[in-house]
Structure 1
Amino acid sequence: MNPFNSHTPFSYGLIKRLLMLSILVPLTTQVYAQEHLVASQTQYQQALKQLQPGDSIILKNGTWQDFEIVFTAQGTAEKPVTLTAQTKGSVILSGQSNLQLAGEYLQVSGLVFKDGFTPTNEVIAFKKSDTELANHSRITEVVIDNYNNPDRQMSDNWIGMYGQHNRLDHSHFVGKRNAGVTLAVRLEGEQNQQNHHRIDHNYFGPRPILGSNGGETIRIGTSHHSLTNSFTVVENNYFDRCDGEVEIISVKSGKNRIQNNLFYQSRGTLTLRHGNGNIIDSNVFLGNGVEHTGGIRIINRDQTITNNYLEGLTGTRFGSGFTIMNGVPNSPINRYHQVVNANVHHNSFINLEHIELAAGSDSERSAPPKDSTLTQNLFINPHSPFTLYDDISGLRFSDNITNFASKDINPIIKKGVNTHNITLVRAANGLLYPSDSKFAQYGVNSTLLPTTTQQTGPTWYPKSEPTVEFQSGKVIKVSNADGELDNAVAAALSGDTLLLSDGQYNIDTLLAINKTLTFKAANTHKAIVSFERPSLFEIQNNGNLQLDGLVINGKLSPDAPGNSVIRTLKWGMLTNYRFDMSNSIVEQLNSSNTFHFFDSGSRAFADTINVNNSQFRHISGDVFRLNKETDDIGIYNAEYLDITHNQFDDIVGNVATVYRGGTDESTFGPHVLVNHNQFTHVGKGQQNQTESILTLHGVQVSQIAHNTFTDSAAISIFHTVGEPQTTIANNQLINTPAPQVTEFVTQGKHTANINNNKVQTR
């Protein structure tokens, strides 16, 4: 019998039940996530229009030039929309490229930005416009490597975090050289506030000294919105030699948590600059004795500092190992708010050169900290590191321990810091703890696990050293045959040494130094170099120059104003450079009236200039000209100038002119060290308008010691902003005027330390 025969009752009832079942249980279709592999910007735009929750766009491996990516889509928590590389690390965004994302539940991974710079204010922005933001979105395993505007003072940020509930993790940022924050959390508008962002497991690689304000690695908020809460969490990141400026992390908002980060040999501090109620917990600061390495600086209300480990930090003033600031009474929002109700407990302060309390006290910052406590902290140091600048009765020390003698402790501190014989042992986590268990409750807990480099950044991108050391490559032997030195410079690789055989070298081209090179005489003073151009060497981007054992003679140079043996690019260098010279002779730089040895251009910056055991004689101009940044905004030309064990004879101009103007306090330099030199008939030429042998304006650290000045001009020091440290000691001044120090800020007697100098007249 046919069951579907409509003439039978059985078949009719069955068909009816089947029809009813089809109505009650509708047919479903499975929707699968789509992957769009794209090989061009046009294909990307086409794929972007088709995106649904769970879909992904995959960029084909290769270099994408001038690609301004706008990634807009709507995903869900269960089905985010993704943008990724075909192979992580094999998609390079170069030239004028950037990334903007807007929407919900987006995820980006695997991209590398290098060999270019952003055409906008940010390389990566969690927004498309002020009203089109990204929320609940994630950037992970992304690299930004030396992606800088060639104008070092042109400011941009590498990451701008907007919106709410976004995450940045396991990414790699290295070599931010131009002005601007590496990562900025922006709070303009309610849609960006109380954002609950998470920044975790990122590698913040070396950031070179900027030499001006604007070199922070992370900034959370701005002064304008500093009384707004951000609720940003910064955790498990590694800050490797982040040296941009005095503030490594600048917190300028409230209710943030900075925890479990490691700061390795980074010059500067974690600064609670504005905003209240922040928590600084379980961070590790390792200075290893590197100059200007700092820890934590406290400003504002209700800050909690707990379970942090700080060791081997050398910084002072605003960059010290631990600082509690003075505030401004009734402070405007952009100045220094008084420290109130700070809670500092269970921290380990080990071998910090400076702990500064009521720091910055002056006629404006006259409100000392109050209603604050420091308890169960561990202070280990050969001597008391505390410096007090104002009344600290508002700081209550209670149940802390130390190893330095109680006689060295200020009475206010002594009440709550007990001295014991404390022996430290280094635990498996690499940190020092008291060996005696009765002290276990002091300092950081034993469960603290410092974040390591291996835990941060993408596993597929190497953390390579940014600096090529001198004489780290191969040795190339060079004769004085025509053109051989020029060819050797062109063929050499960074780190190589050009070993010059004995003889006379007459150079008729400008030697461009765009890599790390050493010019070394095979036999000291037997390789004699003359040059027929206005300059012999030009240090360019990526260039570092070392001279060893040479004789440099200017007799063949043209009679042209402003000749120099060495110059930088005349305007605008992006990369910092190093210059080192030893065991050399520089002579007969007098074919023109202003023939200099070393002349820096504007917006060029030297990490170090070191000259030792060398002779300079018969020079019609200056020796070192580091004075081009005269716009008085805190910019300068060199961080360190070190002149040691040299002879200077018959120099018409200055041995060094160094200039740093303005009122900015966010940098540490310049530093000028002039020790164990002999100066004879220096600085007294009619062309020397400064009438000085050394002219140091705004230099932050000057040490001029154990020198002999004969028949020479005066030392001229001009103190400007900050607390300049000038020492002029143990020098012989023969027919040479006494040093001249002018104070532009401090009232009354100058602050220079001038002592034990012997003045003779003949």
Structure 2
Amino acid sequence: IQVTDVVVAYNSWVNCNSPWQFGVGSNVDQKDVLPASEIRSERPIRTVVANNLIYNEKGDGQPIIAHDSLDGIEFKSNVINNQGVPFEGVDGLKAKDFSVTELEDKIVVPASDLSDVELYKGFEFDLITTDLLGNSRVEQNAIGAIVGMPDKKLNIMDVSRYGADWYTPGFSEGIASKSHLVGSVAELVNAVQQAKLGDTITLTADRYEIETPLKIDKKLTVQSADSNIKSTINYNGAAETPAFEMNPKGQLTLENIVLQGTKSQHAFASLQNNMSSLYNLTLVDCEISDFEYVLKGYKYSFSEYIKLKSTHIKNCANGLELSAENDDRGEYNAENIIIDDCRFEGVESNVIDYYRGGYDESTVGGNLVVTNSTFMKCGAKEENGILLNTYGIINVNISGNKFINNNVKFIALLWGAKNNSHANNEIRNSGKLIVEENLPLKLMY
């Protein structure tokens, strides 16, 4: 959809990297490889950018980035203090030496009123009668978001002043978290059920044999009592059930734990239905083994982050399965997956299966970072021959890893046209890590 009839006026950008970017969605440079229906070539028209202010304490080499022609945009009466750092500018944005002062925490305003800058008077600009703080622009007007200094502190960064009436931001900040010491399965199950938001459950026994999933519907940490000796949780539940069932709003951190299955279950999984809110999962210094899936994210489930740190995953049929959003509408199952200093050994397929399909660029994720980790003897049953499946993911960084004796054709197939990169990986008998500039994607409509 073409951008038309837009006015960007009376705004301030302070210490922002490349604050003005135009034509971000343009992909005319790929017209030779994309279907004609997927080319976004219509530039903004009848657009005015006027009476704005940019201030950079440290000069920015690219305060303006134009991904396509700006011939449909008028720039009028905009000023920038870029500390003398040169940049490719536009007519209607002038360099000016001015200083700023802090009005209150995180709110910076010009130290002078900049009234010497002649304002652009566009269509219906006279209807803009106040500034960001409610000061009148009728009697005194100037460029930028704020034209005058208030008589008293306004606390405009006080989040309690905003949002729906029924929502109280920061309601849990004054509630102290509690630690639960558990030495038996019954105590563990009860602690998970009764714990409050942010509580910690500490395992004091060597081993716990559980038969049913532990339901995680709040922020919880489960950890071993002794940082040098890992407690073991053996999950003996039914096939295709998870040891930890991730419910809406569930945020689980597992620290210094051994988690074992019997080959047919899932270590962690979202609900198959009714995932009305996101879940998050963090594993630190854990050992996960003998599961059908380490993590299975079902369709319509979503995680803001999956983090694995210093964790050993071994002898599992599947690893992290986050590819259920396969309708190719630009959707995906997790925003951020971060894996650092981990070891994957004997994971037969889907070591990491992270998928985002379709040409839709209204979503600009996900984000996968795999660093300083070892993958050994994995992928033996991977049908597509790719160890780390990242198809359609926009931001991927695979760096500083070791890939040893993995029976696959490719370690990864990265998307060169996007922010996919790899560096300093050691590869031995594990296929190739390749980059393709353009990947074929399914049409959305």
TM range (shorter): 0.7 to 0.9
Q: TM-score, normalised by structure 1?
A: 0.47
Shift of residue 616, structure 1, vs aligned partner: 1.6
2:169 corresponds to which of 464, 470, 480 = 464
Shift of residue 391, structure 1, vs aligned partner: 2.3
1:732 partnered with 2:417:
no
1:509 corresponds to which of 212, 216, 229 = 212
- State the secondary structure of the residue aligned to 1:359: coil
2:103 corresponds to which of 418, 421, 427 = 427
1:613 and 1:507, CA in 2 relative to 1: closer, same or farther beyond 3 A? same
1:368 and 1:514, CA in 2 relative to 1: closer, same or farther beyond 3 A? closer
Q: Distance in 1 between matches of 2:164 and 2:249?
A: 26
Cα deviation digits, residues 617-660 of structure 1 (max 9, x gap): 232x2220001122222332111111112122232223210112
Give matches, 1:215-226, under 5 Å: none
1:615 corresponds to which of 302, 312, 315 = 312
RMSD, matched Cα: 3.1
Q: Distance in 2 between matches of 1:505 and 1:458?
A: 44
> Which position in structure 2 is the counterpart of 1:624?
320
Which residue identity does 2:405 align to in structure 1? D
Shift of residue 389, structure 1, vs aligned partner: 1.7
1:386 corresponds to which of 64, 73, 82 = 64
1:445 partnered with 2:149:
no
- State the secondary structure of the residue aligned to 2:168: coil
> Which position in structure 1 is the counterpart of 2:180?
476
Q: TM-score, normalised by structure 2?
A: 0.77
Cα deviation digits, residues 243-282 of structure 1 (max 9, x gap): xxxxxxxxxxxxxxxxxxxxxxxxxxxxxx78xxxxxxxx
1:601 partnered with 2:266:
no
Which residue identity does 1:627 align to in structure 2? S
1:402 corresponds to which of 67, 80, 83 = 80
1:406 and 1:454, CA in 2 relative to 1: closer, same or farther beyond 3 A? same
Q: Distance in 2 between matches of 1:520 and 1:505?
A: 13
1:710 partnered with 2:404:
yes
Q: Distance in 2 between matches of 1:580 and 1:510?
A: 18
Q: Distance in 1 between matches of 2:204 and 2:84?
A: 63
2:329 corresponds to which of 628, 633, 650 = 633
1:522 corresponds to which of 225, 228, 239 = 225
- Which moves more between the two structures, 598-607 or 390-399? 390-399
- State the secondary structure of the residue aligned to 1:483: helix
1:642 corresponds to which of 328, 338, 342 = 338
- State the secondary structure of the residue aligned to 1:665: coil
Counterpart contact for 1:653–1:688, Cα < 8 Å: yes
1:448 and 1:602, CA in 2 relative to 1: closer, same or farther beyond 3 A? farther
Q: Distance in 2 between matches of 1:308 and 1:647?
A: 49
Shift of residue 564, structure 1, vs aligned partner: 1.4
Give matches, 1:281-680, under 5 Å: 299-301=3-5, 303-310=6-13, 350-361=15-26, 362=28, 364-369=39-44, 373-381=48-56, 382-383=59-60, 384-404=62-82, 408-410=86-88, 413-427=89-103, 431-436=107-112, 441-447=142-148, 461-465=166-170, 473-479=177-183, 481-524=184-227, 525-533=229-237, 534=239, 535-554=242-261, 557=262, 560=264, 563-587=265-289, 589=290, 595-619=292-316, 621-680=317-376
> Which position in structure 2 is the counterpart of 1:140?
none
Q: Distance in 2 between matches of 1:577 and 1:611?
A: 15
Aligned length: 390
Q: Distance in 1 between matches of 2:11 and 2:319?
A: 47
Shift of residue 580, structure 1, vs aligned partner: 0.9
1:632 and 1:572, CA in 2 relative to 1: closer, same or farther beyond 3 A? farther
Q: Distance in 2 between matches of 1:429 and 1:379?
A: 19
Counterpart contact for 2:199–2:221, Cα < 8 Å: yes
- State the secondary structure of the residue aligned to 1:651: coil
Q: Distance in 2 between matches of 1:397 and 1:352?
A: 19
Cα deviation digits, residues 323-373 of structure 1 (max 9, x gap): xxxxxxxxxxxxxxxxxxxxxxxxxxx414442123333254434445655
Counterpart contact for 1:719–1:745, Cα < 8 Å: no
- State the secondary structure of the residue aligned to 1:509: coil
Structure with larger Rg: 1
Counterpart contact for 1:572–1:602, Cα < 8 Å: no
Q: Higher relative contact order by CA 8 Å / sep ≥ 6: 1 or 2?
A: 2
Shift of residue 582, structure 1, vs aligned partner: 0.4
- State the secondary structure of the residue aligned to 1:542: coil
Which residue identity does 1:444 align to in structure 2? A
Question: Which consecutive unaligned segments of at least 5 residues does structure 2 have?
Answer: 32-38, 117-141
Give matches, 1:119-268, under 5 Å: none
Q: Distance in 2 between matches of 1:576 and 1:447?
A: 42
Identity of aligned pairs, percent?
23
Shift of residue 432, structure 1, vs aligned partner: 1.7
Shift of residue 606, structure 1, vs aligned partner: 0.9
Q: Distance in 1 between matches of 2:115 and 2:425?
A: 49
Counterpart contact for 2:9–2:51, Cα < 8 Å: no
1:705 and 1:397, CA in 2 relative to 1: closer, same or farther beyond 3 A? same
Q: Distance in 1 between matches of 2:298 and 2:398?
A: 25
1:573 and 1:472, CA in 2 relative to 1: closer, same or farther beyond 3 A? farther
> Which position in structure 2 is the counterpart of 1:199?
none
